[in-house]
């Protein structure tokens, strides 16, 4: 490939990857054409992008960006994977695809998250974290928990008092009913 063509490809790659801060590198070497199409379709349904790229060209395109760390120690032909809700969802999907065995020899090779290089093992570990939706639900629970505790502590004494008043009222009603019955039927009381 001539220098001019390499520069054009590098420019195109850098434009396609502009704004991308987190990405994963995966191995797709050995997938036949039909499996590759199925894999890309599955990823597209989740707003994830897959691009097979030559490492040297990708390194040049990512120089000076947060994605540059992804290619530290990368060797062989790899595919870049980015998009989705967040990098955790991306990692979960990569691990799900690998576990399914449907797209053998698909496997994670590393990546970058927040400008930090990720190894393949780190991608597997990240896939176990809660994604954005899970994190928001945990945060919401932590925010609402103190309010719920205060509410229950404020309402508990009032509930206990209301219960005691209700029992006392039931007892008074029974006494009144017995007295009314005795007055109506004086011979029954003797």
DSSP output for 20-80? ---EEEEE-TT--HHHHHHHHHHHHTTTEEEEEE-HHHHHHHHTTSGGGGGGTT--SSEEE
HSE-CB at 4 with a 13 A cutoff on CA atoms is 0
Place of tokens 């219960």: 163
Q: Are strands 78-83 and 23-27 parallel, antiparallel or unpaired?
A: antiparallel
55 pLDDT tier (thresholds 50, 70, 90): confident
Residue range 165-184: mean pLDDT, rounded:
74
Residue range 95-116: mean pLDDT, rounded:
87
Place of tokens 């065995």: 101
pLDDT for 186 equals 64
Phi-psi region of 83 (alpha: psi -120 to 50; beta: other; left: phi over 0): left
Residue range 126-138: mean pLDDT, rounded:
80
Peptide linkage before 105 cis (omega within 30 of 0): yes
In percent, how much of the chain has pLDDT > 90? 6
Residue range 123-138: mean pLDDT, rounded:
81
Averaged pLDDT score across all residues of the chain: 82
Q: Are strands 48-53 and 107-113 parallel, antiparallel or unpaired?
A: unpaired
In percent, how much of the chain has pLDDT > 70? 96
129 pLDDT tier (thresholds 50, 70, 90): confident
CB atoms within 10 A of CB 68: 17
pLDDT for 32 equals 87
| C-alpha 86 chain-centroid distance | 8
Contact present, 131 and 92 (Cβ < 8 Å): yes
Contact present, 9 and 62 (Cβ < 8 Å): no
pLDDT tens-place string over residues 98-108 = 898 888 888 88
pLDDT for 187 equals 59
pLDDT tens-place string over residues 13-49 = 888 888 888 889 898 888 888 988 999 999 999 999 8
Residue range 151-171: mean pLDDT, rounded:
77
Contact present, 23 and 111 (Cβ < 8 Å): yes
pLDDT for 45 equals 92
pTM of the complete model beyond 0.85:
no
Contact present, 46 and 114 (Cβ < 8 Å): no
| C-alpha 148 chain-centroid distance | 25
Residue 148 has pLDDT above 80, yes or no: no
């Amino acid at each position: 490939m001539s220098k001019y063509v390499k520069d054009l490809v590098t420019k195109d790659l850098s434009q396609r990857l502009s704004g991308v801060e987190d990405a994963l590198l995966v191995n797709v070497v050995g997938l036949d054409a039909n499996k590759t199409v199925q894999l890309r379709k599955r990823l597209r349904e989740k707003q994830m992008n897959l691009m097979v790229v030559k490492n040297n060209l990708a390194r040049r395109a990512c120089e000076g960006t947060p994605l540059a760390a992804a290619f530290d120690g990368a060797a062989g032909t790899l595919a870049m994977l980015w998009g989705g809700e967040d990098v955790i969802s991306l990692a979960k999907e990569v691990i799900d695809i690998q576990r399914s065995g449907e797209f053998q020899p698909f496997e994670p090779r590393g990546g970058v998250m927040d400008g930090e290089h990720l190894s393949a093992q780190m991608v597997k570990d990240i896939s176990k974290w809660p994604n954005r939706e899970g994190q928001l639900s945990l945060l919401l629970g932590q925010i609402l928990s103190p309010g719920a505790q205060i509410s229950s502590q404020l309402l508990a004494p009032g509930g206990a008092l209301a219960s005691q008043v209700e029992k006392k009222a039931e007892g008074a009603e029974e006494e009144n009913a017995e007295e009314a019955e005795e007055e109506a039927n004086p011979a029954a009381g003797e």
